[in-house]
Amino acid sequence: MYKVNIRKATYDDIPAIFKLVKELASFEKAESSVWSTLKDYEVNFKSGLFGVHLAEERSDVVGLCLYYPTFSTWKGKMLYLEDFIVSSDYRNHGIGQKLYNAFISEAKIQGCKLVKWEVLDWNEGAIRFYERNGAIIEKNWWDCKVVFERTTND
């Protein structure tokens, strides 16, 4: 069993955060979809656009929950969980549960009415995890987006 510390990220953690996000993109077979740069993360973290809880084993960052505040016109204030990852070597040791619990606690501390996120339909392990934690998996909503500009990745 790993001895893991869950904590809020600092600016100095940005390279490790960016590395884990790329690992998630690889897991999802979508490496070419990562257009953001390390600089994007630095600027937007510094401005407070998003927050991150990290799982740290010794001095290595092995997992994260990256989230940001948003507003539901029907429910009120909420946190959106953009990325949730535990490095492959550290999965199935309870680290994801600790990170998820920290994210849920953060939402409650911030006075949120709900949290929301997406899960890929083929990621059965994640779906089971979320269902065990009381999540409602809505299958009748479709994602929509408009892409304005693609930048090159550093």
| Residue whose token pair is 């290595």 | 60
Hey, is 63 helix, strand or coil? strand
Residue 66's contacts (CB-CB under 8 Å, 6 or more residues apart) are 17, 21, 50, 51, 52, 81, 82, 83, 84
Active site residue 100: no
Single out the catalytic residue among 68, 90, 100, 130.
Answer: 130
Cβ atoms of 90 and 115 within 8 Å: the answer is: no
The Cβ-side half-sphere exposure at 152, using a 13 Å CA radius, reads 1
Residues acting as catalytic residues: 130
